[in-house]
Structure 1
Amino acid sequence: MKLSSVLTTSLAVLTLFASTSSEAHRVWIKPSATIVSGDSEWVTFDAAIANGIFYPDHYPLGLDRVEAMAPDGSAITLENGHKGKYRSVFDIELEKEGTYTIYSASSGLSARWVDAEGERQYWPPRGSQKTNEDFYKEVPQDAKDLEVSERSHRVETFVTSGAPTYDTLGPTGKGLELAPVTHPNDLYTGENITFKFNIDGKAAAGTEIVLVKDGERYRDQSQPTKLETDEKGEVTFTLDKPGMYWLEAEYADDNGKAPASKRQGSYVAVLEVLPM
């Protein structure tokens, strides 16, 4: 079965995992391999929203929200897609050499306020798909303590056939994005890794980053690595243990576009670190 790749601009994904707190759900698109060689190789993927890292136990990520891009920038079709109870799965065929990007992106408005009974209200409702036009219809513009945020979210992973390429890794200028200095498929233990983050095309200084290694389910504690970008939006770090890593970055400022007063960006990537 072939599934067409569609980019949604709804907040349905955002409302499911809007926080980096320990209670928040975590989203991921995890490949079976990040580096392959040979002609017409296949890679399979798990996509889920879960309580932990790489252990699906909550909700599948909808495949209508996932896109795949070949090394030359062309869209490729997700193959053999299936949405299960706790995860979605799909395959892609790597017919060209270079780096493939597999991602899901969304953006929109969110709001919170206090109603006439003194109760805190939130918009949009969890899991719903709303537009900016819906915001003006459904959110009382004169509500007490009304706070409106412009939010973006991006979830992605990278797979390379042969030698890594950078052609499709350039930022789009929308939301919080990774602009890798070190290629995301060229990560090794003990070596410096440098990533740059942009928000709407400009350096995202002060972006807070959390890295969690696979196997979290079998540790007493999550043991996250916490980092923060410098004034250039860059961060440099090393990792001592090989394996798959879940990276989440969060950014916030007061530069939202009207009607929003705040701007928030969230970014998630699944990365593989190989032994040196």
Structure 2
Amino acid sequence: MKTTFLKACAVAALALTIAGSASAHRAWMLPSSFTLSGEGQWVTVDGAISNNLFYPNHHAMNLDSVTVTGPDGAAVEAQNKASGKYRSVFDVALEKEGTYRISSGGDGYMASWEEAGERKRWRGDAEKLKAEGIEAKPGVQVSRSVRRIETFVTLGAPNEAAFATDGTGLELKPVTHPNDVFAGEEVSFQLLLDGAPAEGIEVDIIRGSDRYRNSEDGLKLTTNADGTITFTPEEAGAYWLNAGAEGKSTLNGKEIDVRSSYVVTFEALPL
């Protein structure tokens, strides 16, 4: 009787642990292949916000802000865009050899204020913020959000033209090329925040298919003074890296909160 009760408690605790680990909604993009060879290749990219990594079960990703940067730094069109209930999808033609950056994100503002006894909320870009006079609202609180969700695909030999940064929010400057990662080998990535090394940023790295594990088995790291993290993926597979930072900025002389986030999906190949 006692043994049965203890087993039941253990099962319940395990279920709560799994439910807790799966409760966070995570945004991601996953290409059908990370590395290819030959000519005239294509990749299909899935995009979603889900409870489990690479298993679409919550919400499809909005494709309005998707951009693709080719190996020469020029823009490449994302083709055949479509969105369903839980997953979005699009294709990218790889016509030139090198590394392609596939990215989604935005830089926008959020505001809230009290008006006629009712709480008002607003979201938009800097141009609309000014045009609509949001800053002039009595008691308004304004914050800024800069987010990026990325993945990288290489045709033939990798290169680094697609890694050019613009000095806004969190950005990846690879020490190890994300398409040159192998299980059992050390990997280093550098994160920049507004163009400078992002020191002290917490980073989560989780191998995909966590739906089929009892725990996430993720890594929690902190960037060093150079904004760098170093780790060794133990198993082959697709990985999800997430980082976030909070800070302050000024908007027309007023201090506001700024939240930056960065997500990248990469693959660790077997040796």
- TM-superposed CA distance for 1:259, in Å, is 3.7
Alignment match, 1:166: 160
Alignment match, 2:190: 196
Alignment match, 1:265: 260
Alignment match, 2:53: 53
Q: Secondary structure at the match of 2:44?
A: strand
Q: Matches of 2:24 and 2:136 in 1, distance apart?
A: 27
Cα displacement string for residues 38-82 of structure 1 (whole angstroms, at most 9, x for unaligned residues): 011111110112222111112211222211111011111122222
TM-score, structure 2 as length reference: 0.83
Q: Matches of 1:174 and 1:222 in 2, distance apart?
A: 31
Q: Secondary structure at the match of 2:260?
A: strand
Q: 1:223 aligns with which of 217, 235, 242?
A: 217
- TM-superposed CA distance for 1:234, in Å, is 1.0
For 1:91-106, list aligned pairs within 5 A.
91-106=91-106
Cα displacement string for residues 92-137 of structure 1 (whole angstroms, at most 9, x for unaligned residues): 11111000010012012234578897x9x6844xxxx523344764
Q: Matches of 2:255 and 2:95 in 1, distance apart?
A: 43
Identity, % of aligned pairs?
41
For 1:143-182, list aligned pairs within 5 A.
143=139, 147-182=141-176
Q: Matches of 1:114 and 1:203 in 2, distance apart?
A: 38
Aligned pair in 2 of structure 1 residues 90, 52: CA closer, same or farther (>3 Å)? same
- TM-superposed CA distance for 1:168, in Å, is 1.4
Structure 1: gaps of 5 or more residues? 1-20
RMSD, aligned CA: 2.4
Q: Greater shift after overlay, 151-160 or 84-93?
A: 84-93
Cα displacement string for residues 172-225 of structure 1 (whole angstroms, at most 9, x for unaligned residues): 111110111110100011211111111111111111111111111111222221
Q: Is the 8 A contact 1:256 1:263 kept in 2?
A: no
Letter in 1 for 2:110: S
Structure 2: gaps of 5 or more residues? 1-20
Q: Secondary structure at the match of 1:217?
A: helix
Aligned pair in 2 of structure 1 residues 139, 219: CA closer, same or farther (>3 Å)? farther
Larger Rg: 2
Alignment match, 1:10: none
Cα displacement string for residues 5-38 of structure 1 (whole angstroms, at most 9, x for unaligned residues): xxxxxxxxxxxxxxxx974421111001100000
- TM-superposed CA distance for 1:253, in Å, is 2.2
TM-score, structure 1 as length reference: 0.81
Q: Matches of 2:48 and 2:125 in 1, distance apart?
A: 24
Q: Matches of 2:257 and 2:163 in 1, distance apart?
A: 27
Aligned pair in 2 of structure 1 residues 225, 99: CA closer, same or farther (>3 Å)? same
Cα displacement string for residues 125-163 of structure 1 (whole angstroms, at most 9, x for unaligned residues): xxxx523344764577543xx653322000110000011
Matched, 1:212 2:199: no
Aligned pair in 2 of structure 1 residues 254, 219: CA closer, same or farther (>3 Å)? same
